[in-house]
Chains A and B, each alone.
Chain A
C-alpha cells in the first residue's frame, strides 16, 4: 500500500513529533499506522487530526492557575467567576465556546467554579469516563482516567484524598462533583495563609493542577504536583 492521500494533503502523514530516541519503536509505528488507516477509511481527515493535535500540544493548567490567582486578588472577578464562569474565562484567554478556534463539541459545556471554604472541600471526577475542564487545565492526568479513582472517589472521598496525601479533618465536609458531557468543574481553593501581599504571578505559581482538581491544597513553597504511580485497586469497587 502506498501513502495515504487526503484531499490535497501530502501523500504521507507526518510523524508529528521528533522521535526523541534513535530507534523506530513499535508503539510509534502503531500510532502512525492506525492514524493513517483511519484517515484512509474516512473516519476523520488529516486536517481534523492536525488541528486537534496542535490544540492538545498547547494545552496546560496555566489558565486555571491564573484564573484562581485572579479570583483571590480581585473580588469583582471572583464574583463573576462564581456567577458566570464561562464569561470570566475570557479574562484568562479561554473561550469555552471556541476553545480551539475551530470547535470541539466535547468541550462545549457549562463550566462551574466550586468555591472551597474552611469547612467545605470540593473534588472533581468523571465517574463515567474522563470528562475534564481541558481548556483550563489541559489534559487529565493518568490517574484521573482510571476506574480506580473514578469509582472509589465517589464512595470513599475522604480515604481517597488521604491516599493523595490530603488529610481533611472530620469537620470539613467533602463534596464530589461528577463531570459529564455538559458540565465541567474546577475547584477554587481557599487562599492559603502566608500569601498576604503576593501578586497574581506569585499566587499563580502555587496553584497546581491537583489543587484545581481538589486532591491537593495550595501552600507557599509548593509549586509542583507530586507524580504518583498508578496502582490497581487491591479491593476495587464492585457492582459499579
Chain B
C-alpha cells in the first residue's frame, strides 16, 4: 500500500508525546538497576517486523526499512534504538492509514489498563 505523501512530513502527536515522556529502555533499565541491554519487547517487535515483511503488501520490507531510515534520521533523531524502530513502524502504519492515530491511542489506553490490572505499576515519573 503506497503512502500518498512524504512520511517525514506527517506529524503523529501521539508518538511525539510518548517520546517526550522519555521512557526509553536505557533510562528505565538504569532506574531499576536492570543490566539487559535490550528491552524485553525487542524480540516481539522483531517478530512483528518479520510477520509484516512476510505478508508483504501492507508495508513491504524495503518500504518499511527505507521509511525507518528516514524517520529515525529526520523525524525522531534523538530517539535511541530500538525505540526508534518501534516508533517508525507505528508512524509508517499510521501514515498509510492502516491504523488510525486515535484508534492506536485508544488501544494503548486499554493495554495499559490491562497490564496495570495484572500487577504492573503506573509510571512514577
Within 8 A of A (CB), among B57-115: 58, 61-62, 65-66, 69, 73, 77, 81-83, 86-87, 89-90, 93, 98-99, 103-104, 106-108, 110-112, 114-115
Is there contact, CB below 8 Å, between A36 and B111? yes
Q: Which of A23, A24, A56 contacts B46 (CB 8 A)?
A: A56
Assess whether A26 is interfacial by the CB under 8 Å rule.
yes
B45 & A43 in contact (Cβ 8 Å cutoff):
no
- Whole-angstrom distance between the Cβ of A163 and the nearest chain B Cβ: 18
Measured CB to CB, the nearest residue on chain B to A28 is: B41
Q: Which residues of chain B are within 8 angstroms of A232 by Cβ–Cβ distance?
A: 73, 77
Within the complex, which residue of B58, B73, B93, B115 is in contact with A34, where a contact is CB–CB below 8 Å?
Answer: B93
Q: A25-B123, A26-B18, A129-B66 are in contact. Are A43 and B44 (CB under 8 A)?
A: no
Contact of B40 among A17, A26, A30, A129 (CB under 8 A): A17
Q: How far is the CA of A28 from the CA of B90 in the complex (A)?
A: 13
Contact A20 B34 (CB under 8 A): yes
Asked if B44 contacts A18 (CB within 8 A), the reply is no
Contact of B86 among A15, A21, A27, A128 (CB under 8 A): A27
B90 A30 Cβ-Cβ under 8 A: yes
B110 touches A104 (CB 8 A): no
Q: How large is the interface on A (under 10, 10 to 19, 20 to 34, 35 or more residues)?
A: 35 or more
Q: How many A-B residue pairs have CB under 8 A?
A: 169
* Contact bitstring A51-68, B, C-beta under 8 A = 1, else 0: 111111100000000000
**Cβ contacts under 8 Å, B47 to chain A:** 49-56
**A43 contacts across to B, CB distance below 8 A:** 51-52, 55, 58, 98
| A129 and B62 in contact, given A15-B115, A33-B108, A104-B54 (Cβ under 8 angstroms) | yes
B55→A139 contact, CB < 8 A: no
User: Measuring CB to CB, which residues of chain A are less than 8 angstroms from any residue of chain B?
Assistant: 1, 12, 15-38, 41, 43-44, 48-57, 104-106, 128-130, 139, 142, 145-147, 227, 230, 232
Taking Cβ atoms with an 8 Å cutoff, the residues of B that contact A are 18, 21, 23-25, 28-29, 31-32, 34, 36-37, 39-41, 43-48, 50-55, 58, 61-62, 65-66, 69, 73, 77, 81-83, 86-87, 89-90, 93, 98-99, 103-104, 106-108, 110-112, 114-116, 120-124
The 3 A-B residue pairs whose C-beta atoms are closest, nearest first, are A53-B47, A17-B40, A44-B51
